Amino acid sequence: MRQHLLIDADDTLWENNIYFEAAFARFVEFLEHTTLAAAEIRAVLDEIELANSKVHGYGSLNFGENLKQCYAHLAEREIRPEDLERVKGFALRILEQPVEIIEGVAETLEYLASRHDLTLFTKGHPDEQRMKIDSSGLSRWFGHAAIVKEKDRASYLGLVEKRGLEKARTWMIGNSPKSDINPALEAGLNAVFVPHARTWTLERQGLREPGPGRLLVVERFAELRGLF
């Protein structure tokens, strides 16, 4: 039976968080804090990102603003405008990185698209996400793409209603328990968890018990060919 497959983008189809981690490493080096270790600085940044994402959303530009705020909060020297711009520049470099497709993704999408209805469902800054989608060369396998500010239960229910999807035949596939798996299950959909070793800390959660839907776990994206 033909299924509706909703598929995440960042860290499911292509690498993403590794570039944010590299920007953070440059930030820590530039900050040169005398007492705080990288993990402690990361904890402060996490709090800033968690608060700001609710208002401003995600993406490299917002990450740059978060780094500036973190620097202004932690710097042990005079806060100079040129230093804030340099910190922001660490994030802007992310936009210059090539889209690195995860192994097995392209062949698997081609296979799945011949058998099922594929929707790319991602969150983040619309322009940045569209740029990555276009650069990836993967859009031809998707019949529809949706970019939202946040992927929560309401956004899944909204997509289901807008697209006229039958919940029992709809699956969300992604690497994030917080954005891909748990809210989809809460909305009554099925889900497939594809773990990624470098998933952003704020996207990590324990997997919740499914409701009426099913929850499957695979090690690699390519394993979806054995499920669908």
User: What is the per-residue pLDDT across 151-169, written as a single tens digit (0 to 9) for each?
Assistant: 999 999 999 999 999 999 9
Contact indicator for 115, 140 with CB cutoff of 8 Å? no
- Strands of the sheet containing 190-193, edge to edge, are 144-148, 117-123, 4-7, 170-174, 190-193, 215-217
Reported as a pLDDT band with limits 50, 70 and 90, residue 72 is very high
pLDDT score for 174: 97
Q: What is the CATH number of domain 17-96?
A: 1.10.150
pLDDT score for 1: 87
Per-residue pLDDT of 89-142, as tens digits, reads 999 999 999 999 999 999 999 999 999 999 999 998 999 999 999 999 999 999
CATH 1.10.150 domain locations along the chain: 17-96
Give the chain's mean pLDDT. Answer: 95
Q: What angle do CA 224, 205, 147 make, to 5 degrees?
A: 60
CATH 3.40.50.1000 domain locations along the chain: 4-14+100-226
Distances (CA, A) of 196 to 21, 44, 123, 145: 14, 24, 17, 22
pLDDT score for 139: 96
DSSP state of 171: E
pTM as predicted: 0.92
Phi, psi of 146 (to 5 degrees): -130, 130
- CA 13 to CA 120: how far, in whole Å? 10
Give kind and range of the element (H or E) at residue 172: strand 170-174
Phi, psi of 5 (to 5 degrees): -110, 115
Per-residue pLDDT of 3-31, as tens digits, reads 999 999 999 999 999 999 999 999 999 99
Q: What is the CATH number of domain 4-14+100-226?
A: 3.40.50.1000
Burial 30-64 (b: 16+ CB within 10 A, else e): ebeeeeeeeeebbeebeebbeebbeeebbbbbbbb
- Residue 54 above 90 pLDDT? no
- CA 167 to CA 190: how far, in whole Å? 8
- Residue 82 above 80 pLDDT? yes
Tell the burial category of 186 from Cβ atoms under 10 Å away from its Cβ (0-12, 13-18, 19+). Answer: middle
Place of tokens 């594809």: 194
pLDDT score for 210: 74
DSSP state of 13: T
